A and B are shown apart, each in its own frame.
Chain A
Amino acid sequence: EVQLVESGGGLVQPGGSLRLSCAASGFTFSSYWMSWVRQAPGKGLEWVANIKQDGSEKYYVDSVKGRFTISRDNAKNSLYLQMNSLRAEDTAVYYCARKYRTHNTGWFDPWGQGTLVTVSS
């Protein structure tokens, strides 16, 4: 069974940092693009970042560029999101998702259960 389990969320002050982790199992992790998607409380979904199988390509939504870094460790079947200079508007549930990509399109399946990040003083 494919499983994605996020961890590392919590309460952090504005300007602070947090590192999220996602442990993958049930599939060949190194063969897939991976992504982070977030959802602010009571709001819709927002794509955050993608990373290629070998980590050689990374893409971010404009609002997190320069502050967030996506990375992976294929030996540990793990995905990470380093979040720096956090703002109140980064408060959200952060989901890890396996990403399918073909040519110039892609989709997310499955998703983890999410981890809540709260940025507040």
Chain B
Amino acid sequence: SYELTQPPSVSVSPGQTARITCSGDALPKQYAYWYQQKPGQAPVLVIYKDSERPSGIPERFSGSSSGTTVTLTISGVQAEDEADYYCQSADSSGTSYVFGTGTKVTVL
């Protein structure tokens, strides 16, 4: 089955840059998406189609793709960005979906 691998945790000081990676064999052929989930809340889409930002999402959130790895970058991290982040993609037919293992971002 298709898997997406993320680092379990990333720690960053306020104002610094956090980078979260997501690796998967199908990512060169499939878009990736990123969700932010704060404790006790539903996930929120922060990046779609590798690098597009939905309306209402701060500009400090950006996405990029290179080969089998996609990256979510949070520039100028704020305390409110502390959350779990999940990448997501689809199989080649677009009928089956998979989420990454999740990364907990801690703001020091």
Which residues of chain B have C-beta atoms less than 8 A from A111's C-beta?
Answer: 42-44
- Size of interface on A: residues with Cβ below 8 Å to B: 26
Asked whether B102 lies within 8 Å of A45 as measured between CB atoms, the reply is yes
Answer yes or no: A27 CB below 8 A from chain B CBs: no
Answer yes or no: B12 CB below 8 A from chain A CBs: no
Asked whether A50 lies within 8 Å of B43 as measured between CB atoms, the reply is no
A104 to B96, CA, bound (A): 10
Answer yes or no: B1 CB below 8 A from chain A CBs: yes
Write the nearest CB–CB distance from B90 to chain A, whole angstroms.
5
Which residues of chain A have C-beta atoms less than 8 A from B30's C-beta?
Answer: 104-105
Per-residue 0/1 for B81-97: is the Cβ within 8 Å of any A Cβ (1 yes, 0 no)?
A: 00000101110111111
Asked whether A46 lies within 8 Å of B99 as measured between CB atoms, the reply is yes
Contact of B43 among A45, A57, A59, A105 (CB under 8 A): A45
> Given A44-B102, A107-B33, do A114 and B90 touch, yes or no (CB 8 Å)?
no
12 A-B pairs besides A45-B88, A106-B97, A111-B42 with CB distance below 8 A are A47-B88, A47-B98, A100-B48, A101-B94, A104-B92, A104-B94, A107-B88, A108-B35, A108-B43, A109-B48, A113-B41, A114-B42
